[in-house]
Amino acid sequence: MVPESIRRAGVPEATVGRLPLYLRALTTLHDQGITSIASEELASRSGVRSTQLRKDLSHLGSYGVRGVGYDVELLAAQIAQELGLTQEWPVVIVGMGNLGRALAAYGGFSGRGFRIVALVDDDPEVVGTLVEGLRVMTLADLAAKGPTVAIGVITTPAPAAQTVAQNLVRMGVRSILNFAPGHLNVPDGVDVRGVDLATELQILAFHEQRRLLAVSTHDPLQEGTDSEAMG
Amino acid sequence: MVPESIRRAGVPEATVGRLPLYLRALTTLHDQGITSIASEELASRSGVRSTQLRKDLSHLGSYGVRGVGYDVELLAAQIAQELGLTQEWPVVIVGMGNLGRALAAYGGFSGRGFRIVALVDDDPEVVGTLVEGLRVMTLADLAAKGPTVAIGVITTPAPAAQTVAQNLVRMGVRSILNFAPGHLNVPDGVDVRGVDLATELQILAFHEQRRLLAVSTHDPLQEGTDSEAMG
DNA sequence: ATGACTTTGTGAACGCTTGCACAAAGTCGC
DNA sequence: GCGACTTTGTGCAAGCGTTCACAAAGTCAT
Ligand SMILES: NC(=O)c1ccc[n+]([C@@H]2O[C@H](COP(=O)([O-])OP(=O)(O)OC[C@H]3O[C@@H](n4cnc5c(N)ncnc54)[C@H](O)[C@@H]3O)[C@@H](O)[C@H]2O)c1
Ligand SMILES: NC(=O)c1ccc[n+]([C@@H]2O[C@H](COP(=O)([O-])OP(=O)(O)OC[C@H]3O[C@@H](n4cnc5c(N)ncnc54)[C@H](O)[C@@H]3O)[C@@H](O)[C@H]2O)c1
């Protein structure tokens, strides 16, 4: 086996992106009372190939038993540790509009390694009100007397996002999830992930158009983005 | 130049994922009255390297002018055409909860190639009510007497998502944007894109933990996910 | 204990993506 | 017109990610 110090540094980015997928599937299995699972079955439930699953898991170490499979609980714990979910990360949501309120109301944070500890807006009508049991504050309040936060979620209109990001970075936040469209300029060492609805829809539109074009020209061009059959 | 028939089939998937980025930047530039832009500047505003931008654009053809740059309006039109945004794609949102309502209220659909033509829920309390000027219907209603839809957006709880997806596929939808956590099993030829909040946060947590670990062990391990300096 | 069987873990091959280096093709001042 | 300068478009090489093929390592029935 590879030494711990080396393998820690060497988890490929693509693998990191799939670990949450596996963890989710394992959690579901655990809830169903299943204690052991083979890579083939776990891969199928995660939407990846079994070879890829095994290669991914091999980067965290050898937690499987040949001839049997993986212990659901043990593997889940290992992935959770690798992702840093043994502690609860404090999260702030900035922008209490439609989307921000939906996220605040969403129950999927707690119990999964995250806790919303602050809600922020700059509208005087909104600041001071209670949303989901938390009092909405301004960014200045958060910096001055708010709780420490590790992750910032931005759900303001696009023009405000860059300024909000700078303020978050100034108060020590180095992980940002941005729902506003557009690219954020941040210093080195700050991690920004963007979720953009328009981008996702436009990628779907591209493939949709290509499919229609292929059919209309009787071009036997196969798409095949997912080989699983429907039940 | 490469013949049209060949280049059409050959736009790499990674490029498709970035075209919406460029289109957004170009739209902003157009709104600011800027008519021409060099790859260096456009790349910077899109958060990619200029060589990558040029390579991406080269897959759609030669629309730049050497020594000058790209005509903003022309390039935007070309990208829009490539993405299939010259027509308006009819969209249905299934699941009128917090998230579904936020999406329905979101103005970023129309004018960008998409139009919400139907809203669906299965709660008798919700079906029949008006949301954003549209009357909420059931999936059965949509199949029987609703408008044709090309893209389905799923914002139901996770356990319902698979069934909803099957129903959408049965009525001809081949592009699905899924906000519910979990993998959807769909037949070949159906395109599913998943947006999962928990996944995004967990990826951020992984990097956050790695940064903290690196600092605490005085390991000069650089992160450097974005080289742009903040203004 | 043994042999048949199952499943993992991984080296190697392959394909896709990115980044480099540079020629080609234009503009602009004079 | 012409030379200096700017910027695009692209062949090529390096790096990354996925898939294949298979040995290694276990289980299980007998
Ligand atoms: N609603 C959606 O479904 C949806 C989908 C995709 C993307 N988005 C994006 O998410 C963002 C939010 O969308 P929304 O529909 O909730 O918008 P919204 O207008 O309902 O809410 C925006 C909120 O941000 C607050 N705000 C504005 N500037 C601020 C600042 N500088 N500091 C703190 N708070 C500030 C406003 O007071 C408001 O409460 C937008 O950028 C939108 O493009 C929304
Ligand atoms: N709210 C968020 O911020 C958020 C964030 C990330 C992911 N999600 C996911 O998005 C989904 C929706 O979240 P939400 O907070 O809006 O939930 P919600 O409970 O507020 O809304 C779900 C809606 O779906 C409807 N529904 C249930 N079964 C249905 C069916 N078979 N057909 C049609 N409609 C059905 C319900 O009646 C309800 O109106 C969930 O899967 C959630 O995990 C939500």
Report the relative pairing of strands A69-71 and A64-65 from DSSP bridges: antiparallel
CATH class, B89-195 region = alpha beta
Chain B residues in contact with A207 by the CB 8 A cut-off are 175, 191
B189 phi, psi to nearest 5 deg: 95, -10
**Runs of H (alpha helix) within A59-115:** 72-83, 98-105
Chain B residues in contact with A131 by the CB 8 A cut-off are none
What is the fold, at CATH topology level, of the domain defined by B4-82?
Arc Repressor Mutant, subunit A (1.10.10)
DSSP state of A217: T
- Dist. CA A140–CA A122, nearest whole Å: 10
User: Model-level pTM?
Assistant: 0.92
CB atoms within 10 A of CB A89: 22
State, as a whole number of angstroms, the distance between the CA of A39 and the C1' of C26. Answer: 57
Question: Does nucleic acid strand D have an atom less than 7 angstroms from the CB of B10?
Answer: no
B209 phi, psi to nearest 5 deg: -65, -40
Burial class (CB in 10 A: 0-12, 13-18, 19+), A14: exposed
Q: Is B108 in the pocket of ligand 1 (CB under 6 A)?
A: yes
B4-82 and B89-195: identical CATH topology: no
Contact with chain B for residue A181, Cβ under 8 A: yes
* The predicted structure's pLDDT at residue B218: 52
Burial class (CB in 10 A: 0-12, 13-18, 19+), B223: middle
Q: Which of B24, B77, B16 is nearest to B46 (CA)?
A: B24
Ligand nearest to the CA of A141: 1
Domain ranges in chain A are: 4-82, 89-195, 198-230
Q: Which of B94, B68, B106 is nearest to B165 (CA)?
A: B94
- Dist. CA B12–CA B7, nearest whole Å: 10
Tens digits of pLDDT across chain A (231 residues): 444 444 455 899 999 999 999 999 999 999 999 999 999 999 999 999 999 999 999 999 989 999 999 999 999 999 999 999 999 999 999 999 999 999 999 988 877 899 999 999 999 999 999 999 999 999 999 999 999 999 999 999 999 999 999 999 999 999 999 999 999 999 999 999 999 999 999 999 999 999 988 776 654 444 444 444 433
Q: Which residue has the tokens 């699941």?
A: B95
Question: Distance between alpha carbon A44 and the CA centroid of its chain, in Å?
Answer: 20
> What are A58-90's pLDDT values in tens digits?
999 989 999 999 999 999 999 999 999 999 999
Residue numbers of A between 149 and 168 with CB closer than 8 Å to B: 150-151, 166
Identify which of B179, B183, B195, B201 to mutate to test ligand 2's pocket (most ligand atoms within 8 A of the CB): B179
How far is residue B93 from each of residues A138, B11, B168, B177, measured CA to CA in Å? Answer: 33, 29, 11, 9
* The predicted structure's pLDDT at residue A33: 94
DSSP state of B230: P
